[in-house]
Each structure stands twice: as structure tokens, then as C-alpha cells.
Structure 1
Amino acid sequence: MTRGGQGLARVACVVRAGAAPLWWLGVCAAGIGLLVPGVTGRRIGVMAGAALFVLAAAVVAYARRGRYAALARGAVRAARQDVLQDRAVTVRTWRRGHRWWLLLAFLAAVGGSFAVPAAGGMLLAGAGVGLWLKAAWLGRRERVGEALLWVRVDWLGAAGGRPAGKAVKAFRSTGVAAGDAAPGGSRRRTAALV
């Protein structure tokens, strides 16, 4: 790293990193749960799971929005010597750091199916959708403000991978063309060469 520079990870990429694993693990756990009649029966399990899906998606999507908004308002411009982390590195780092939590959540969802079939899996899937919705909300903020939001990698590590955790004191910002991810943390689409 250049002298005086900081490693920066995209906030939206960190938020979005858990969405796909939670979604797919939730879908798999719900599918496995449907094979087990459970204590309540499949119909009640699926109805409870649908309610948990909607609740989890809403709670995760709206949780800590005030903190994100406050950090975004106070974002300072990234220095020239700061190093912008690639999207793939950010996603891989987050998933590697949370793999055991993801595995435990999956096993808990499958185990819960013996009581309420599919409900735990649908809860996990709802959390994944909530993260996608939060990343989309961040993307809209980035487009309106015409600035991408970044967080220092060392602060992110100290906050346990949470971009709005207590250890994170401020966001940094760059222009919308910086980095290899579009606003919202998705892959940047490149125009086809003619």
C-alpha cells in the first residue's frame, strides 16, 4: 500500500456479500424442510415461513438505515493514495469471515424443520432478500449523491464485517466511475466493443 493510504472496501459490496449465500442456503434448507412433516405439518410450516420471510426481509432492509445515512452524510473524499479494494476481494473476504455463521444458520434452519417445516429456511432466504434491498437502497443514495461510499478495511475488520458497526467512524467517497462495482455493489456492466 502506498505510504499514508488506506485500504477501502465498497459499503454496498459488503452489505450485498451475504445476500446470495443467505438466499441459497435458505432455499436449500426450506426444500429439505418440506421433506419432513414436522410437528406442525407442512402447511402451517410454509405459512409461518412466508410470514417470517416477509418479516426478515423488512427488518434486515431497514435496520440501521439511520446510521448508514449519517455516515454517508459525513463521508469525506478518499485520498489519492487510498487503495480501492476490488468487489470480488470484498465479497470473498466477507464470506470467508462469516462461513461458520452461515453454516450454523443453515444447520439450525434444517434442524428447525423437524418442528416447523421450511420456516427456518424461509427466514434465512428473507434475510438474504433484505440485504439485497439494503444494497439497492445504498445504490440509489450513491446515484443521487453521485458518489460511491467506501469504508476503511481496518475499521470494517474491527466491526466484525459490519460497515455501519461501532468501530466505523466515517465513510469515504469517490466519483461514480471509481472501482469495479456499480452503485449498489453489483458488477459493473461493460459496453460491448463493436
Structure 2
Amino acid sequence: MGRGGQSLARVAVIVRAGAVPLWWLGVLAAALGVLLPGLTGRRIGVYAGAALFVVCAAAVALVRRGRYTAWAARAERAGTYDFLQDRAVTARNWRRAHRWWLLAAFLAAVASSLALPAAGGLALAGAGAGLWLKAGWLGRRERRDDQLLWVRTDWAGTGTPVGKRVKGYRATGVGAGDAAPGGSRR
């Protein structure tokens, strides 16, 4: 990467990378949880899970929006020698870095079904839905501003694109990279 170029990953792809595994692990945990009668019974567990789904989806979708907006407003133009990381590589890196957390969350959701059947799984699925909604919000913002948002991979690491180490975003035109606005495939 000569001449001072940096490796950049799409912000929306990092956000969206966790949506699919959280959603499917949550649905699987909820399905397994329904098979167990639990302490409170299936009906109460499913109603509590539905409420948790809505609360988790809304909380995950709305948290840190101000930080995303502030970094997007101050985004500088990406340099000529910057390397734009592939969508599949970004998603794979995020999932590999978080696989043990995903497994622990899945096991906790299944174990919580002993008390409230399906509630933990639906909460996990709600977190995945919230990430998908946040990626969609970022995509609408990218279309409106006519620029894609990128973050340096060494700043984002394997965590969040608005973490403590992040010092700014870079921007490119909407034709750059292999992901559409919002992080989905082109």
C-alpha cells in the first residue's frame, strides 16, 4: 500500500455483518425454546419474547445514531491510494472476530428458555433486526448525500465503526466498492 494509502472498510457493511447471524441464531434459539415448557409457560414466554424483540430492535437501531451522523458530516474524501476492502472480506472478518460472542449469546438464549420459552431467542433476533434497520438508515443517508462512508480497518478493528479508536470517516462516490448503499450486495 505505498504512498500512504490506507485500508478502508464500509461502515454500513460492518453494521450489517452482525444482522444475519444474530437473526438466524435468534430464530433457532426461539424455535428450540418453544419446545421447552419453561417455568412461565409458552404463551407468556412468547409474549415476553415479542415485546423483547420490539424493544431490542428499536434500541439497537437507534443507539449511537448521533455519532454516525457526526462522523458522516465530517467525512473527508478518500485518497487515490486508499484500498477499499471487499464486502465479503469485511463481513467474514466481523463474523470470525465475534463467533464466540455469537455462540455465547445463542447458548444464553436457549438456556433462558428454561424460564421464559422463546424470549431470549426473540431478543437475539430483535438485535439482528435492529442492525439491519441501522444499516438501512445508513444506506438512505448515503444515497441522500451521494457518498459512501468508509472507516480505516485499523481504527474499526473488529468492533464497531464508531468506537473509541475511530478518528474519522472517509467518503467516496456511490460507485466505489462492491456493496450498494446500506451494505447490501450490488
User: Same-fold call, TM > 0.5?
Assistant: yes
Q: How does 1:60-75 map to 2 (within 5 A)?
A: 60-75=60-75
The residue matched to 1:187 in structure 2 has which SS? coil
What is the rounded CA distance, in whole Å, between the counterparts of 2:159 and 2:110 in structure 1? 25
Q: Does 1:37 align with 2:46?
A: no
Cα RMSD (Å) = 0.6
Shift of 1:19: 0.1
Structure 2 SS opposite 1:123:
helix
Q: Tell me the number of residue pairs that the alignment of Structure 1 and Structure 2 aligns.
A: 186
Residues 52-89 of structure 1 show CA distances to partners (whole Å, capped at 9, x for unaligned) of 00000000000000000000000000000000000000
Aligned to 1:176: 174
| Aligned-partner Cα distance in 2 for 1:165–1:129 | 21
Which amino acid in structure 2 is aligned with residue 174 of structure 1? T
Contact in 2 for aligned 1:146/1:176 (Cα 8 Å): yes
> 1:4-153 counterparts in 2 under 5 A?
4-153=4-153
Q: Which amino acid aligns with 1:83?
A: F
2-structure distance, mates of 1:144, 1:180: 19
Gaps of 5+ in 2: none
Following superposition, the deviation at residue 2 of structure 1 comes to: 2.8
Q: CA deviation at 1:161?
A: 1.4
Cα deviations by residue, 1:92-126 (Å, 9 ceiling, x for unpaired): 00000000000000000000000100000000000
Q: Secondary structure at the match of 1:25?
A: helix
Give, in whole Å, the separation in 1 of the partners of 2:159 and 2:147: 22
Report the Cα offset of residue 166 of structure 1. 1.1
**Could you tell me the TM-score, scaled by structure 2's length?**
0.99
1:3 Cα shift?
A: 2.9
Match of 1:191 in 2: none
Contact 1:2–1:82 (CA<8 Å) still a contact in 2? no
CA distance in 2, matches of 1:3, 1:35: 59
Which residue of structure 2 aligns with residue 154 of structure 1? 154
**Does the 8 Å contact 1:14/1:91 carry over to 2?**
yes
User: Match for 1:164 among 148, 159, 162?
Assistant: 162
Q: Which residue number corresponds to residue 186 of structure 1?
A: 184
8 Å contact from structure 1 (residues 53, 122) kept in 2: yes
